[in-house]
Amino acid sequence: MASSYCCSRLLLQSQSWRLMLRFSPFLATSPPSSSLSFSSNCHVSSSAQLTTLQQQQQPLPRSSQLVALEYADLNLSHNLDLGHVRIRQHVNPLSSSLSVPAQVPEWNHAFADPTLPLMVDIGCGSGRFLMWLAKRTPKERNFLGLEIRQKIVKRAESWAKDLALDNVYYPKTV
């Protein structure tokens, strides 16, 4: 009786860990050691032991690798005319040119359907996260990305145009 309880408990813990990985793709930690421990009363078949050993031996992907995999399906071009792949440009957010309010965009030109709810990302960087969201929710919401580094805004606009996303917009701040 104790043996079957132990085995079913181990199976449930293993299944719950797999569910956590499925619902948390950016989780980059290893399963709790208690979920993989065996009791002397627990008799597990060799196939279950092999599966557990394989899970222990395979390194979990790092969070940066998981993020790269998520963005890979965007198929973004790396056109060097738009700037380097990694732009390390410092912009002083307190400069006088950024102290002037930005022009309010013409919403009918910015979005295909300006009546949709608007999500704003302040400091959107490369804008990939907004494009990732916009591609998955095309008719549910509009996305506005604000960034003070103009080279990155230019590249984000180009990527959004390449992807034919009509629900994401990156206004020029200067």
SS3 23: helix
Q: What is the pLDDT of residues 41-93, one digit of tens each?
A: 555 555 666 566 666 677 777 777 776 777 677 767 666 565 555 666 677 78
Has this prediction a pTM greater than 0.85? no
- Identify the residue with better confidence: 110 or 8: 110
| CB proximity list for 144: less than 8 A, separation 6 or greater | 110, 118, 119, 120, 121, 168, 169, 170, 171
